[in-house]
Structure 1
Amino acid sequence: MRLLRLVLPVLVVAGLATPAQAAQPPETASGWSVSGSELVWKSDNPLPVGDAAIEFWAGDRLLGRPRPSADHRTFTLSTRTAVDPRELSVRASGKRLDVEEAPRPMKTRPLPPPAPQPAGTVDPGVPGPYKTTTGEYTVDPIKLPDYPAAIEMQGLVVAPVNAPGRRPLALFLHGRHISCYDPADPRYQNIDWPCAEGKKPVPSYTGYQQAQQLLASQGYVTVSISANGINGQDADVLDLGAQGRSSLVRQHLTRWADWAGAGRGSAPDIVKAVPVADLSNVFLMGHSRGGEGVNRAAMDSLNPPPGDTLPTLWKIRGTLLIGPTIFGHNPAPDVPSATILPGCDGDVSDLQGQMFIDGTRGVSRGAALHSSLYFVGANHNFFNTEWTPGQSVAPSSDDFRSTDDAVCSPGTPTRLTAAQQQTAGATYIAAAAQLFVGGDRRVLPLLDGSGVRAPSADPARVLSHAVGGERTSFVTPEAATATSGGAKLCKQVTKDEAQGCGVENRTHFVWFWGVSEDPDRFAVSLSGAGTVRPAKPVSLAGSRDLALRLIVPPNTKDNRFDIAITDTRGRKAQLGSVKLDGLPATEHVSALWSQEVRVPLPWHGIDLRQVASLELVPHGNEKAWLLDAYGWNNGLPDPRPVPLSRVDVGALTVQEGDSGTKKYQIPVSVSGDRAGKVRLFIGRDKAEFEARLVTVEPGQHTIDLPMEVTGNTRWSWGSSQQVLAKAVQGTVAGAYGGGITVIEDDPAPAITIAPATTTEGGTMKWTVTSSAVADSPITGWGRTIPPTQGRQLSTTDVDPTWFKENTAEEPLPARPLSDTRLMFYFDIPAGSLTGEITMPTVADTEAEPTEYVYSKLRLSADRTKEVELVGTVTEQS
């Protein structure tokens, strides 16, 4: 699905109470321009190529995700709407990229690294008994929809020597990094595809050899595949490459299935030289956008995309994701997973990959384990040696760029070295493989929140929690959950401070695209002794412990809570106390992450078949957030994936027309035969979303989403209705974004600005006139430029307060207005014919010639045209 077909429209300058004025730009105004129908931002320096989505925002509204230039310096968003330059910003994972933002300093000092946890009974980081062999293969490239250039089919194989029988297959997929480099010029870094003549592809796929060697020694056939062709083209697709990466993974698996059977004789030499792969035991590892890609591959293998012709000749037993993106909030609920969240991630810094755990709750049977692993002191890049300075053949860098951070800057006690991080990563990759594929339940405590460590990963501090597995849901906060005392049900995603959890958009609280109100996501904030009641009594009979996922503020110590439960007859059981320390953090670090704590359930004194409430009592002034609570047993059931109904949102583009009303259906398809529920977020022209819960019935193939389009002969920005889909129960969301775009087919009115004249000390007033009434506001904006004649007004010729408000600059020393960041801006409201721009001047005692101000304003109604603004200031008589 091409990105250009879907643009989230935004109405601009809502509530502007004054006539059009010179624009007051924030610091972000530098670098912005309009070119035709495109909004462009140019950075002073190339931005590092990473995996987090770069986004254009207007205030708190997401405008869209722009296309980068090959050198990652210029970013372009196609849009049919005007924007207020005063509101523009560029962000990635919530961080501003267009200005140096001063973060709010934390009130607490960072803690030292957590104390080492007890060693587990098994260490998956210990090499196995097999010697290994290494080689590469390249087969014919493939063509994928929406990717103009062919995608390479290249892999690095590391496999055991003389391992008997068929061996499980582990496939690795790297994330988004520069695709091309110049060995002769370290300054050349490019995200294009294919590489230009004389330039070389970056071998990102060779960056996981330590983990491949470890798994191969333990008996796995491993292959790490190249995805530069996806990276160089994914900016033009709505899902930023998730479906393309899934297709690439499944194309490789298709080859491996053939090479394990009838096609073995024609397999590449390295494949024929290693044990036959067992395609019924496949493990996937994905880093960053590769993590989202292998998750989609797992989903597509169980619930194929509409029209997909690849037969599924394999079984994916589990995935391990490192610092993954999850733009779609659509985890594969029935495929076990472990997600590494790097505590010093400077790329996907909001740690949005936490949604691979949280987003599975209640969607399917809940038997698949989903583990979250918080790696204290790890950055994003160094899990891949080809993204690590001193190890990579192409230019690379530390994605955590602050040099004076007390937790994450190199050399601090908490920050891991590259070698330590890679060893810890390999250890936990092997842990996930041994548990999900090998079935070694001794590994389970390393991943499920039991609080043990793998000594091979030392000195890394790795904390874990999990959902699924042998857990029985007790409290998963929802709208029907009741709270009392110091416990308060709060919305995880909302702009309403009174109803929110008071936590910024990170980890458990990340937004889904620009959706700022999510009715399905709740937590419980705790500011004192409080009680939480699920909607119905719950049976915890048969569970050994009560497990809770609790967040405590970073850098806090000895947070203690007494835990109790009460049954429907009012009998209370005191279960004991738990103690948590906050994670070490600074203002640059995402550390509001839940930790798992457990207390034993009683054998008598309470009816565990009818548990009605949970009580938490802090020992002091501890603040906390409860994510959920479960009955817990030590075990790992067979996830037994079931086919779920799959929802895919398509895109439709139509013409407005000159008259009449037409009805269109936004394409939303359903495949599968199971009943379920899906949450649709339906966007409107003001960038607000209507949340609609839709029930999918067995045999249903579409979801009814009509939209009426009424034609006329008045110009407007056009309109659109964006649709986002998220699984709620019994469904999965494949293509999660789409909608309908209505193209305006009427000519734009002509705009003129009458020249303005005033004497020194007066106010310049320009009247902006439209030749016809429009259905949308018409805006224009442009920088001050040198006039075509005469002397230019200076910064001391205009009112100093007005100048500072509109430029964030001081008027002294005096300089021409064209040397400043002053912009002029107007807004003709819909249904009106005129607007006004004003500029106050000041009088002085010097004899001066007539002075001028000049600008060319780009028009929202027709961005191929500019309108001149000319102002004249004469001496007082």
Structure 2
Amino acid sequence: MRISRVVLPALLVVGLATPAQAVQPRNNPPQEPSSGFTVSGSQLVWRSPAPLPVGDSAVEFWDGDRMLGRARPSADHRTFTLTATSAVNPRELSVRSSGRRLDASEPLRPMQSKPPATPPAALPAAPADPGKPGPFRTASGEYTLDSVKLPEYPQPVEMQANVIAPVGAPGKRPVALLLHGRHSVCYKPGEPDSGPFVWPCPAGTKSIPSYRGYLQAQQLLASQGYVTVSISANGINAQDGATADQGAQGRSSLVRQHLAKWADWAGAGRGTAPDVVQNAPVPDMSNVLLMGHSRGGEGVNRAAMDSLTPPPGDTGYNGPVLWNIRGTLLIGPTIFGHDPVPDVPSATILPGCDGDVSDLQGQMFVDATRGVSRGAALHSALYVVGANHNFFNTEWTPGQAEAPAQDDFWSQDPDAVCTPGTPTRLTAAQQQNVGATYIAAAAQVFVGGDQRVLPLLDGSGVSAPSAAPARVLSHAIGGARGSFVTPSQATTTSGKAQLCRIVTPDTASACAEQQGFRSQTHYVRLWGVDDDPDRFAVKLSGAGTIHPERPVSLAGARNLALRLVVPPNSTGNEFDVAVTDVHGRKATLGSVSLDGLPSTDRTSTQWAQEVRVPLPPRGIDLRQVAALDLTPTSGPGEAVLIDAHGWAPGLPDPRPVSLPRIDLGELSVQEGDSGTRTYEVPVKVTGNGTGAVRLFLSNDDREVTTKLETIRPGQQSIKFPVDVTGNTRWSFDQSKQLLAKAVRGTVVGRYTGGLTVLNDDPEPVLTVAPANAETEEGGVLKWTVTSSAVADSALTRSGALSPEVQGQELSTVDVDPQWFKEHSPEDPLPARPLSEVRLWLSLSVEPGRLTTEFTIPTVADQEVEPTESVRVKMSAWPPSGNSLDFTGTVTDKK
């Protein structure tokens, strides 16, 4: 069977990876092979020496510089499995999460400079402090309803929540719903480790109450007049590894199930509501804030999307939308699909010492909204120096949690920024103050419309005293801004300014050098896409000029706001800023100064800080500004300009609208024995309007072709034909993967889909000759493996040596040392039988070939020894393939 340009992991429709990856050339020195892999045909299994902490970033399998996909966890979170359709090299397999290696130690590139010994001075205080408690007393309680059945989730998911509400607050009150992220779900009291990763929790264990981890934030919001609801999602966490989007749709459906209950309890169904709900003020469902932590952040983003643009088909909630989501606050979120909601305001906390979602991919909740819709909704990023991932939730914090918990920041050696006790690292209590304060800030701005709090979110460079001593830096797009320089293919530059590509394998045109396998913040990539034609910035190495595609009006703006990335740990970076109008009149606006973020080789600090300069009231034509000049005056003179905007105070009504929505589907077809058939990958369009979406299609060489598709009013689908040519040669099932991202006037729900072609040919049989190979010491044991027919996929067998031999077994010092090193992580000394050490043994008959050889080279010694033997046992995956069992004998040299 041959399919046009298709060889992909068969579970890619189930396993997309986080975009924390960078391509490295194959001529890099080989890494030490992983000590826990089993390779059997298309089945890759890795077993960790100890259970991995359950987190939100995905566990990924790599073959050298090639990402294979996301692995499914076992119940004990030690064994991870992926099915792939292409042969892999066991010596180049690795396990990674957000770019960092999990299965072996890996040296990190040292930073060129060290972080400053003392933190910089505190930022000035904002006009209002949202962390101050409000005037209301609070009351709390919980409710548990019947579990709900969601598509793709075998076990029902719990409907459980903690409610904290104001006492004596008049009228209907706004609602804040909070959703925790992915964490362990069960524990056994008295034991130091988390329990099984299954749902429901088995007898003898208890459910981990992650939903009770935001009590401080709930108490603060309730005192300010909000009805707060923190919901449990353990049933999602334990089952989302088998879903295409890692649980985003399931979490959205769970959120909407709760909102539907609250909408009913706000009206006719109030008399049937749980006691804690009836004792709370009547909720105002037209004013809802959603907070999501980790994968919960991606979940509430999808809930906001699904509330504006209902998803097609059955997603677990298909009822009416009787609520209005005013904004979202996201803490260390995942965004596997790069699919934010452009018209719903958001604020995203990026923890500077995040050891889980360490690439800080949540930055895409800001950057990926740029230019998609009208731009009236504010999208803010909040970089919290010294905060880790877990401690925003007290139930994930050692010393506060009911169940076992740990610091997620990963560092075997002391880290100058993130090790507890360093000047920059926050304590758990300090970090939780930050979380509560900025959740309240988002509520007061997005729901309450309090513009005194807006400077905390919009890049104005101020702080909240309640969050002290934390240093929280903000930048934003949208709101009252107007675009000036949004780098694109049409942007031109001169001098030492260079238009650069944010996602590209070409180092010459790249905006930033990738740090090994890690991409981060602005440079995070959509999985499988290493060349994105829509993402540009401007790299500065000295004085330069940037020309937007056409002259831009900055009339009505008060300041020019720039988002600039400067080298981490650098100090005293200063740039003069000037603009020129279409008549050639130039105005020097002033200078900006900024220091790089404190950084080590384990942090993600290539993050843009917002700086502003005032625009002149006269002297140039602000209605037709044609160029931006940036001139370094001190510091390294290097920077990356992400974008520039005309800034004005205030926050316009975002007026969310239902944009056309794109959802990708999956199609499975039989291969057939001959001829070429054309199939269409399902791409559904719902809603009405015009826009554009970019589709990425992967081929068999892992290359990606891309297409920009225009959406027209009334369009219900996008035609995406794929040719499949049948034959009578066996292969694995083949998949062609399709990814989608919004470009203009659209939103993307289900962002991954594709075509799977099911093999319908019998698998060839492998035979080995001779059954028993013979050689003298110093010679090579050699077997020829022959296939009964040519195949279109590699026929792979893997296994180990068996102790069931005739006579004495070959030892670790009887084989060539280089061969041993290539096949085992252990030391050959002291000498011991080969079957007692960990060996990676595999062979493959490559596509289009009938034979391969398997060899074991031996060494000669001076000892007189009896005949020594080896026995090789290899199995196949899928199980339909036959196993191999063959032997070899080595005699003394005559």
Q: Normalising TM by the smaller chain, what interval?
A: over 0.9
After TM superposition, list the pairs within 5 Å mapping 1:403-802 onto structure 2. Answer: 404-504=414-514, 505-620=519-634, 621-755=636-770, 756-786=773-803, 788-802=805-819
CA distance in structure 2 between the aligned counterparts of 1:273 and 1:860, rounded to whole angstroms: 59
What is aligned with 2:21? none
Deviation at 1:141, TM superposition (A): 1.4
> Mean alpha-carbon deviation: is it higher for 243-252 or for 866-875?
866-875
Question: Quick check: 1:643–1:672 contact (8 Å CA) kept in 2?
Answer: yes
Q: 1:213 aligns with which of 210, 215, 219?
A: 219
SS in 2 for 1:442: coil
Q: In structure 1, what is the equivalent of residue 396 of structure 2?
A: 387
Q: Is the 8 A contact 1:682 1:721 kept in 2?
A: yes
Amino acid of the structure 1 residue aligned with 2:304: A
Distance 1:224 1:801 in 2: 57
Q: For 1:690, what is the secondary structure of its paired residue? A: strand
CA contact (8 A) 2:85 2:793 kept: no
**What CA deviation, in whole Å up to 9, does each residue of 1:507-547 have, x standing for no partner?**
11112122222111122221122222222222212211111
Residue-by-residue CA offset, 1:135-162 (whole Å, 9 max, x unaligned):
1111121111111111111111111111
Residue 406 of structure 1 aligns with an amino acid whose one-letter code is: A
Are residues 253 and 835 of structure 1, via their aligned partners in 2, closer, same or farther at CA, if it must alter by over 3 Å? same
| TM superposition shift of 1:807 | 4.0
What amino acid does structure 1 have at the position aligned with 2:538?
Answer: V
Give the alignment of 1:93-132 within 5 angstroms: 93-111=98-116, 112-132=118-138
Q: Name the TM-score, length of structure 1 as normaliser.
A: 0.95
Counterpart residue type for residue 38 of structure 1: Q
- 1:267-286 deviations in whole A, cap 9, x for unaligned? 11111111100000001111
Q: Distance between the aligned counterparts of 2:800 and 2:38, measured in 1?
A: 10
Deviation per CA, 1:106-149, whole angstroms, max 9, x where unpaired?
Answer: 22111232320001110001111111111111112111111111
2-side partners of 1:367 and 1:780: how far apart?
Answer: 58
| Percent pairwise identity | 66
Deviation at 1:787, TM superposition (A): 5.3
Structure 1, gaps ≥5 residues long: 11-15, 18-23
Structure 1 window deviating more from structure 2 (79-88 vs 287-296): it is: 79-88
Contact 1:423/1:457 (<8 A) preserved: yes
Please state how far the C-alpha of 1:691 moved relative to its aligned partner. Answer: 1.6
Residue 5 of structure 2 is matched in structure 1 by none
Q: CA distance change for structure 1 residues 754 and 25 in 2, over 3 Å: closer, same or farther?
A: farther
Q: Say whether the 8 Å CA contact 1:761–1:843 is kept in structure 2.
A: yes
Closer/same/farther in 2, CA of residues 858 and 623 from structure 1, 3 Å limit:
farther
Matches within 5 A, 1:270-349: 270-307=276-313, 309-349=318-358
Residues 807, 78 of structure 1: alpha-carbon distance in 2 compared, 3 angstrom cutoff = closer
Q: Structure 1 residues 216-225 or 535-544, which shifts more?
A: 535-544
Q: How does 1:159-238 map to 2 (within 5 A)?
A: 159-238=165-244
Cross-structure match for 1:371: 380
* Distance in structure 1 (CA, Å) of the matches to 2:879 and 2:494: 57
SS at match of 1:726: strand
Please give the residue correspondences for 1:53-64 in structure 2 after superposition, counting only pairs within 5 Å. Answer: 53-64=58-69
Query: Is this contact kept in 2: 1:180–1:195, CA < 8 A?
Result: yes
Q: CA deviation at 1:3?
A: 9.4
How many residue pairs match? The answer is 865
Deviation at 1:360, TM superposition (A): 0.3
| Matches of 2:204 and 2:835, distance apart in 1 | 42
Distance 1:30 1:753 in 2: 28
Q: Which amino acid aligns with 2:720?
A: L
Which moved further from structure 2: 289-298 or 803-812?
A: 803-812
**Higher mean C-alpha displacement, 276-285 vs 483-492:** 483-492
What is the CA distance between 1:469 and its match in structure 2?
Answer: 0.7
User: Partners in 1 of 2:56 and 2:453 — Cα distance?
Assistant: 30
User: In the superposition, relative to structure 1, how do residues 831 and 301 fare at CA in structure 2: closer, same or farther (>3 Å)?
Assistant: same
Q: 1:72 aligns with which of 61, 77, 99?
A: 77
Maintained 8 Å contact 1:25/1:823: no
Further displaced range: 667-676 or 520-529: 520-529
Q: Contact 2:40/2:877 (CA < 8 Å) preserved in 1?
A: no
d(CA) in 1 for partners of 2:714 and 2:595?
Answer: 50
Which stretch shifts more, 55-64 or 147-156? 55-64
* 2:660 and 2:747 in contact (8 A); partners too: yes
In structure 2, distance between residues paired with 1:575 and 1:782: 69
The residue type paired with residue 498 of structure 1 is A
Deviation at 1:819, TM superposition (A): 4.1
| Structure 2 gap ranges (5+) | 1-8, 18-24
Distance 2:689 2:159 in 1: 36
TM-aligned CA deviation for residue 812 of structure 1: 4.2
2: CA distance between counterparts of 1:453 and 1:3? Answer: 49
CA contact (8 A) 1:37 1:78 kept: yes
The whole-number CA distance in structure 2 between the counterparts of 1:294 and 1:264 is: 25
Specify which of 840, 846, 850 is matched with residue 857 of structure 2: 840
Give the distance between the partners of 2:855 and 2:633, measured in 1 at CA.
61
Where in structure 2 are the equivalents of 1:147-158 lying within 5 Å?
147-158=153-164
- SS of the equivalent of 1:423 reads helix
Contact 2:41 2:797 in 1 (8 A): no
Task: Please name the residue that 2:20 is paired with.
Answer: none
Residue 145 (structure 1) aligns with: 151
Distance 1:767 1:791 in 2: 24
User: Taking structure 2 as the reference length, what is the TM-score of the superposition?
Assistant: 0.93
Q: 1:708 to 1:271 in 2, by over 3 A?
A: same
Pick aligned residue for 2:841 from 797, 805, 824: 824
1:576-632: CA deviations, max 9, x gaps? 111111111111111111100011112233222222222211124322111111111
> 1: CA distance between counterparts of 2:860 and 2:437?
73
Contact 2:579 2:586 in 1 (8 A): yes
576-585 or 779-788, which deviates more: 779-788
Q: Relative to structure 1, is the Cα distance of residues 41 and 804 closer, same or farther in structure 2, using a 3 angstrom cutoff?
A: closer
Q: Supply the RMSD in Å over aligned alpha carbons.
A: 2.2
Structure 1 counterpart of 2:479, one-letter code: G
For residues 184 and 800 of structure 1, do their structure 2 counterparts lie closer, same or farther at Cα, with a shift above 3 Å needed? Answer: closer
Aligned to 2:784, the other structure's residue is in SS state strand
Cα distance between partner residues in 2 of 1:58 and 1:501: 26
Contact 1:487 1:528 in 2 (8 A): yes
Does residue 354 in structure 1 map to residue 363 in structure 2? yes
What displacement does 1:769 show? 1.0
| Contact 2:694-2:741 within 8 A present in 1 as well | yes
Moved more, 780-789 or 387-396: 780-789
Distance 1:487 1:135, change over 3 A: same
Deviation at 1:809, TM superposition (A): 5.5
Residue 710 of structure 2 aligns to a residue whose secondary structure is strand
- Secondary structure of 1:144's counterpart equals coil
CA contact (8 A) 2:158 2:234 kept: yes
Q: 1:401 and 2:410 equivalent?
A: yes
Confirm whether residue 259 of structure 1 aligns to residue 259 of structure 2.
no
